[in-house]
Amino acid sequence: QVWLLESGGALVKAGASLTLSCVVSGGTFNTYVMGWFRQAPGKEREFVAAITRPSSESSYTGDSVKGRFRISRDNSKNTVYLHMNALKPEDTAIYYCAGDSSYSGDYYKEIEYNFWGPGTRVIVSS
């Protein structure tokens, strides 16, 4: 059984920075592609960022956060991070961490991922 647990969500003001963490337990972290998705109230879940396996590491970010958000991983801690800068009220959402043990290349699709955390809430006030 693989468990993911996000942390770091908070209420912040526009322009602030925040880092989310996701700890993975019960699996082989360094073989997983890891992603972050978010879901704002009344909206569908949206791809935010992804990072591939350490052996050939690449990272990707969604268009709405490009240049402001960055994903990283620490394989010694089984943890993936989402570094968020210049936060905007439209970044308000529940942020979910996801893991993929059988990567097929579609890092931006929810269906790609087979492990999910319960989410952490980020609220950005104007």
pLDDT in tens, 49-72: 999 988 888 999 999 999 999 999
Task: Check whether 103 has a pLDDT greater than 90.
Answer: no
Q: Which residues contact 58 (CB under 8 A, 6 or more apart)?
A: 51, 52
Phi-psi region of 81 (alpha: psi -120 to 50; beta: other; left: phi over 0): beta
Give the per-residue pLDDT at 43. 96
Pairing mode, strands 11-13 and 93-100:
unpaired
Token pair belonging to 6 = 């996000």
Provide the percentage of residues in the chain whose pLDDT is more than 90.
Answer: 90
For the chain, give the mean pLDDT.
96
CA quadruple 77, 109, 94, 87: dihedral, nearest 10: 80
